[in-house]
């Protein structure tokens, strides 16, 4: 190439104004089994009073949309443009600088250009231009506009359910365009014509019906907690209290339901129970607010609001002073970014003050809710608990910053402080894959189901690649995180990409290391595995 800079005229002469025949604006999605989510079950769509409940699948040619579906979507865009100033700005200000384009894990893993965040947003922006801008109305495709067609709608479904709303892209955008917000709104639009996925719809319906994603009824919830109490006694010799629906407790504790039915979440639950007992926290669980997760936020702002409301309603009913939330990801996005404005301020509650250390959590003075890692880190900092780190010596740990706690609420130091205070062997993954720049598990925002596994393995590749690095370099055998979705979806990701790495929550280490009054000599960890002994496979590696 010559070094001579071309003149503007020369440059202009090279621009081809003809839209290419193969250009991106012509959508055509082939739904390949294993790479998309199945549609919402009609009875649950109906239960939630969402429109167009019917039996259909994304791979069907005919999606059985209402006759006026286009009108519904265009009106829906209009309504949202009026309601959310951010949407209008995001539609108008992107300069296509490309800073975000190679930051999305789905693009990094697949190379599919429509997974570049800028192009993902363009899928909506092109319709916006066509129907809401003068340039688009007059110039059409030259101005990057295109008409809304069924193929476009199918493409929306494919790509907006291939975005985990992780916000990694927005970190790099000089204008702060948040593609996750665009995804949230497009999913809302799709729901207006009955286009949704079951892994989101059914948990939301269950949460309305019984209080949690799996539809576990209050007595089932109580049984699970009691079972955990018994198991903890077997492991430690200490019988703890785990009050449920106790009026007048100081603190309401809300955790994701997977903590009491999922593995490895369950070991985190044992950790919470041990800790609360040891510091004598006056707290209660709730059956009505037995779900911290809020899949409503993956459907619409309205559903998010209604599910979130239960936490305050229950705090009021039980007469608690403030709230602690467990290890969950998107729950914290909702709590941190929306709760105060959609359902707050919670004037009937008090600013959280740790009864053990006296620390006042001023940052939560409006929501009145703090993260369990904030609570525990404060206890450790003030030397209020005794810890034996060697009980976690069989683990070589790395920490995955879950997207929502890291990027949506900046919870970066506390979990690391807890891990370093409870474990001897902690190794960070490379800097550009952790903290604010963390790579998503590839399965968030309702995508974490087996029917969609291949897409998840693709999206999770950048995360797994960084884990593999510390696995090979330091013999890391445990990936820690503070998100229930991660705890469910990282194990299969590891199984495929980095076999030999297990997954755990941070409070599992707390439960292991915690020296409890009256405890038996601990020979096994909360998993029932012998403590302190590195696994043979790892000894070889060292």
Partner 1 sequence: MLNKLLRRNTSKIVERWLGLIFDTYGEDASDFFQKKGNRFANPVGSIFSTNAELIFSELINRNDKEHLSIFLQDVVKIRAIQELPPSEAVNFVYLLKKAIKPEVIDKRSDSISLNDYLDLQESIDQLALLTFDIYQEAREDINRIRINELKKYAAVINKQHDGSV
Residues interacting with ligand SF4, by CB under 6 A?
A: 94-100, 103-104, 106, 117-118, 120, 163-169, 172-173, 175, 177, 179-180, 183, 440
Partner touching 173 among partner 1, ligand SF4, none, CB below 5 to 8 Å by kind: ligand SF4
Among ligand SF4, partner 1, none, the one that 179 touches (CB under a kind-dependent 5 to 8 A) is: ligand SF4
For the chain, how are helix, strand and coil distributed in percent, rounded to 5?
A: 50, 5, 40
Contacted by 462, from ligand SF4, partner 1, none: CB < 5 to 8 Å by type: partner 1
Q: How far is the CB of 47 from partner 1 (least distance, A)?
A: 18
Q: Is 519 in the site for partner 1 (CB under 8 A)?
A: no
Q: How does DSSP classify residue 349?
A: S
From the list partner 1, ligand SF4, none, pick the one residue 538 interacts with, judged by a Cβ distance below 5 to 8 Å according to partner type: none
Residue 157, interface with partner 1 (CB under 8 A)? no
Nearer to ligand SF4, 168 or 527 (CB): 168
Q: Minimum CB separation from ligand SF4 for residue 351, in Å?
A: 33
What distances in angstroms separate CA 37 from CA 291, 449, 535, one per listed residue? Answer: 23, 8, 38
**Smallest separation, CB 285 to ligand SF4 (Å):** 33
Q: How many residues bind partner 1 (CB under 8 A)?
A: 42
CB of 369 to partner 1, least distance (A): 26
Q: Which is nearer to ligand SF4, 162 or 210 (CB)?
A: 162
**492-511 binders of partner 1 (CB under 8 A):** 492, 495-497
Least spacing, CB of residue 120 vs ligand SF4, in Å = 5
Backbone angles phi, psi at 301, to 5 degrees: -60, -35
CB of 260 to partner 1, least distance (A): 7
Residue tagged 């800028």 (tokens)? 118
- CA dist 207 and 220 (Å) reads 14
The pattern of x and - marking residues 414 through 443 that bind partner 1 according to CB under 8 A reads: ----------------x-xx----------
Picked from ligand SF4, partner 1, none, the partner binding residue 184 (CB below 5 to 8 A depending on kind) is none
Options 76-84, 111-119, 176-184, 188-196: segment touching partner 1 (CB under 8 A): 111-119
Choice between 121 and 275, CB closer to ligand SF4: 121
DSSP readout, 380-421?
Answer: HHTT-S-B-GGGGTT--EEE---HIIIIIT---HHHHHHHHH
Calculate Rg over the CA atoms of the chain: 25
- Binding flag, residue 457, partner 1 (CB under 8 A): yes
Instruction: Give least dist CB 437 to ligand SF4, A.
Output: 11
C-alpha to C-alpha distance for 314 and 422, rounded to whole angstroms = 33
Tokens 């330091």 belong to which residue? 474
Q: Angle CA(51)–CA(53)–CA(55) in degrees, nearest 5?
A: 150
Can you tell me whether residue 85 is helix, strand or coil? Answer: helix
Measure the CA–CA gap between 301 and 307, rounded to whole angstroms: 10
Q: For residue 450, state whether it binds partner 1 (rule: CB under 8 A).
A: yes
Q: From CA 82, how far away is CA 410, in angstroms rounded?
A: 30
Bridge-partner residues for 390, per DSSP?
none
Under rule CB under 8 A, residue 31 binds partner 1: no
Q: Is the peptide bond before 345 cis (omega within 30 degrees of 0)?
A: yes
Please state the closest distance from residue 497 (CB atom) to partner 1, in A.
7
Q: Which does 319 bind (CB under 5 to 8 A by kind): partner 1, ligand SF4, none?
A: none
- When asked if residue 223 is in the footprint of partner 1 (CB under 8 A), the reply is yes
Stretch that binds partner 1, among 104-112, 120-128, 349-357, 503-511 (CB under 8 A): 104-112
- The rounded distance, in Å, linking the Cα atoms of 463 and 119 is 22
Within positions 245 to 284, which residues make up the interface with partner 1, using CB under 8 A?
Answer: 260-263
Peptide bond into 178 cis (omega under 30): no
On the 0-12 / 13-18 / 19+ scale of CB atoms within 10 A, 498 is buried
Listed in order, strand segments (DSSP E) in 390-537 are 397-399, 478-481, 502-505
Residue 224 touching partner 1 (CB under 8 A): yes
Nearer to ligand SF4, 150 or 453 (CB): 453
Closest CA to 535 of 419, 387, 525, 480: 525
Token readout for 135 is 């340039």
Q: Give least dist CB 300 to ligand SF4, A.
A: 18
β strands within 404-489, DSSP E: 478-481
Residues that bind partner 1 (CB under 8 A): 32, 34-35, 102, 107-113, 116, 214-216, 220-221, 223-224, 227, 260-263, 430, 432-433, 449-450, 453-454, 457-458, 461-462, 465-466, 469, 492, 495-497
């Amino acid at each position: 190439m010559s070094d001579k800079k071309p003149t503007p005229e020369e440059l202009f002469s090279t621009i081809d104004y003809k839209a290419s025949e193969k250009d991106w604006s012509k959508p055509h999605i082939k739904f390949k089994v294993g790479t998309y989510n199945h549609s919402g079950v009609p009875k649950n769509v109906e239960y939630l009073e969402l429109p167009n409940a019917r039996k259909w699948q994304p791979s069907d040619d005919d999606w059985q949309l209402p006759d006026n579906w286009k009108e519904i979507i265009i009106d829906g865009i209009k309504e949202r443009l009026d309601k959310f100033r951010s949407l209008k700005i995001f539609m108008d200000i992107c300069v296509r600088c490309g800073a975000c384009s190679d930051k999305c894990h789905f693009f990094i893993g697949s190379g599919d250009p429509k997974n570049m965040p800028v192009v993902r947003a363009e899928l909506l922006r092109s319709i916006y231009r066509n129907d809401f801008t003068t340039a688009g109305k007059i110039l059409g495709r030259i101005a990057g506009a295109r008409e809304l067609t069924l193929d476009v709608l199918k493409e929306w479904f494919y790509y907006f359910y291939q975005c985990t709303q992780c916000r990694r892209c927005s970190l790099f955008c000089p204008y702060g365009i948040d593609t996750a917000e665009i995804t949230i709104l497009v999913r809302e639009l799709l729901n207006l014509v009955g286009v949704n996925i079951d892994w989101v719809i059914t948990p939301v319906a269950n949460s309305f019906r019984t209080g949690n994603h799996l539809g576990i009824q209050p007595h089932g919830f109580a049984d699970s907690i009691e079972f955990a109490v018994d198991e903890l006694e077997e492991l430690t010799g200490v019988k703890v209290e785990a009050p449920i629906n106790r009026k007048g407790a100081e603190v309401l504790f809300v955790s994701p339901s997977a903590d009491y039915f999922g593995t490895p979440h369950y070991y985190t639950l044992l950790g919470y129970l041990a800790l609360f007992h040891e510091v004598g926290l006056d707290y209660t669980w709730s059956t009505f607010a037995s779900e911290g997760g809020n899949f409503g936020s993956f459907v619409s702002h309205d559903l998010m609001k209604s599910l979130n409301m239960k936490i305050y309603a229950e705090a009021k009913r039980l007469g608690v002073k403030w709230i602690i939330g467990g290890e969950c990801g998107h729950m914290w996005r909702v709590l941190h970014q929306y709760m105060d404005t959609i359902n707050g301020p919670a004037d009937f509650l008090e600013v959280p003050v740790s009864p053990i250390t006296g620390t006042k959590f001023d940052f939560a003075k409006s929501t009145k809710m703090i993260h369990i890692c904030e609570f525990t880190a404060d206890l450790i900092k003030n030397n209020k608990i005794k810890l034996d780190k060697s009980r976690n010596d069989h683990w070589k740990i790395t920490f995955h910053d879950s997207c929502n706690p890291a990027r949506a609420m900046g919870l970066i130091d506390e979990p690391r402080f807890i891990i370093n205070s409870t474990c001897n062997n902690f190794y960070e993954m490379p800097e550009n894959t952790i903290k604010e720049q963390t790579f998503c598990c590839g399965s968030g925002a309702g995508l974490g189901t087996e029917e969609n596994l291949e897409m998840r393995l693709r999206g999770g590749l950048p995360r797994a690649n960084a884990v593999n690095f510390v696995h090979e370099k330091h013999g890391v055998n445990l990936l820690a995180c503070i998100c229930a979705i991660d705890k469910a979806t990282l194990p299969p990701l590891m199984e495929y990409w980095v076999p030999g790495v297990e997954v755990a929550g941070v409070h599992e280490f707390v439960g292991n290391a915690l020296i409890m009054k009256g405890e038996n000599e601990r020979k096994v960890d909360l998993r029932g595995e012998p403590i302190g002994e590195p696994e043979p496979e790892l000894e070889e590696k060292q």
